[in-house]
């Protein structure tokens, strides 16, 4: 199957936030909010998705893309001998119809922030960002992005949980296997989730992101039902390992604006990585965070070391050998972690610094029995 290499012009406006400040690319098409990235130039569309309104809406925002029909998204996404790392340089978009709701119970090893009824969704598989340590590289055989254009089926599944008579609230992470905020101008899924959540007072959403477009955030209705969870890393880590993501200063600017707009903001210092001179590097990051943000207005924070399942790391080492994947981790109960002598000083630093700026009960730690990804499952 022959694919075109032509792409739409990239967004060149990186003022203020490291991404498109206006939300509009130089071609007039909506920006995907990821810096220095091209819009999808190839879009595979399942036959079952061709006639759906959401499919047409997405394709209308990618007027220069080559559209290729396929019978089943797995024919593209699950084919053998792919190179996800190389595909990240020219990602294709795959529009599909899921044959089942994509709502999963949160595993005991996943951070639930004290919520007993904890779930996550996967209406989008894979991310437009390219972080070398990301578990998705061990979970998915492809670097392309799959969007299931029938999220209403997930809403209906969640309806049954919310209406089961249980008075306890339900907590749903909607951006586990992707970065929904980065894709919001193209998909509009975050806005749909907010609309849904506003109808259900016992539902709380978490939106995890590394994106930093203030324009995208301003376009969303502020909701008390959603926690905006921003992943923060030291600038040297961002430059070396979190490819195509906004700078630390850009993420902090978005966090400050989000607070000013009235959003609940969670700061996620997770995963912390054992880079060279890590204590100094992370200490400098905390200095920058405390200088940029009014910490008394932060909803809460999450802290954790890099950790990953044995199965995922095996795949990552095959698909993307690098310093992160070939670090000499310790294996315990099927999970690779840093040795205590390496990891404990980083956690101690984070707790010490954060406890000076935020009440201890609002600092959530991943202990050494936790795992950084959802329970291992097939790539569907």
pLDDT value for 115: 67
Strands (E), 77-213: 93-96, 103-105, 117-121, 124-125, 130-131, 145-148, 170-173, 203-209
Is residue 273 predicted with pLDDT exceeding 60? Answer: yes
Helices and strands (H and E) in the chain: how many: 13, 18
Residue whose C-alpha is closest to residue 215's, from 170, 250, 241:
250
Map residue 88 onto helix, strand or coil: helix
Higher pLDDT, 369 or 338: 338
Least confident of 11-15, 193-197, 258-262: 11-15
Q: Using CA atoms, how far apart are residues 186 and 166, in angstroms rounded to an integer?
A: 36
Given this model, what pLDDT does residue 35 score?
Answer: 36
Residue-wise pLDDT for 318-329, tens only, equals 999 999 999 999
Confidence grade of residue 164 (pLDDT, cut at 50, 70, 90)? confident
Task: Measure CA 3 to chain center.
Answer: 28
pLDDT for position 110 = 58
Most confident of 1-15, 180-194, 354-368: 180-194
Query: Looking at the whole model, is its pTM more than 0.75?
Result: yes
Chain-centre distance for alpha carbon 147:
14
Residue 298: pLDDT over 80: yes
For residue 23, what pLDDT is reported?
33
Domains of the chain: 99-123+149-365 (3.80.30.30)
Q: What is the pLDDT of residues 71-111, one digit of tens each?
A: 999 999 999 999 998 999 999 999 999 988 788 887 545 56
Supply φ then ψ for residue 144, to 5 degrees.
Answer: -75, 165
How does DSSP assign 41-66, residue by residue?
Answer: SEEEEEGGGTT-HHHHHHHHT-TTPE
| Confidence band, pLDDT 50/70/90 cuts, at residue 3 | very low
């Amino acid at each position: 199957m022959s694919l075109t290499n032509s792409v739409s012009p990239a967004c060149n406006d990186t003022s203020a936030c490291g991404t498109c400040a206006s939300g509009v690319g130089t071609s007039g098409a909506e920006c995907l909010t990821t810096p220095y990235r091209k819009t999808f130039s190839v879009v595979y569309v399942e036959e079952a998705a061709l006639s759906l309104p959401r499919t047409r809406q997405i394709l209308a925002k990618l007027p220069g893309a080559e559209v290729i029909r396929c019978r089943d998204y797995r024919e593209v996404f699950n084919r053998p001998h792919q190179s996800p790392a190389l595909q990240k340089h020219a990602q294709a978009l795959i529009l599909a119809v899921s044959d089942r709701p994509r709502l999963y119970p949160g595993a005991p090893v996943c951070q639930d922030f004290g919520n007993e009824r904890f779930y996550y969704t996967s209406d989008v598989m894979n991310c437009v960002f390219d972080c070398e340590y990301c578990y998705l590289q061990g979970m998915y055989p492809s670097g392309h992005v799959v969007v299931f254009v029938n999220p209403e089926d997930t809403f209906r599944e969640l309806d049954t949980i919310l209406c089961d008579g249980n008075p306890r609230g339900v907590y749903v992470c909607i951006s586990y296997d992707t970065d929904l905020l980065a894709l919001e101008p193209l998909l509009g899924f975050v806005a749909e989730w907010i609309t849904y959540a506003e109808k259900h007072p016992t539902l709380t959403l978490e939106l995890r992101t590394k994106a930093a477009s203030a324009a995208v955030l301003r376009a969303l209705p502020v909701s008390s039902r959603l926690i905006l969870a921003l992943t923060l890393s030291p600038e040297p880590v961002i430059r070396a390992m979190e490819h195509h993501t906004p700078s630390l200063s850009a993420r902090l600017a978005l966090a400050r604006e989000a607070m000013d707009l009235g959003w609940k903001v969670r700061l996620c210092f997770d995963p912390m990585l054992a880079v060279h001179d890590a204590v100094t590097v992370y200490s400098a990051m905390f200095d920058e965070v405390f200088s940029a943000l009014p910490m008394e207005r932060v909803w809460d924070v999450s802290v954790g070391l890099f950790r990953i399942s044995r199965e995922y790391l095996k795949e990552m080492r095959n698909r993307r050998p690098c310093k992160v994947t070939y670090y000499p981790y310790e294996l315990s109960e099927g999970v690779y972690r840093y040795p205590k002598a390496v990891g404990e000083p980083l956690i101690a630093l984070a707790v010490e610094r954060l406890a000076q700026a935020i009440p201890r009960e609002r600092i959530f730690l991943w202990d050494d029995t936790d795992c950084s990804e959802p329970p291992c499952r097939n790539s569907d």
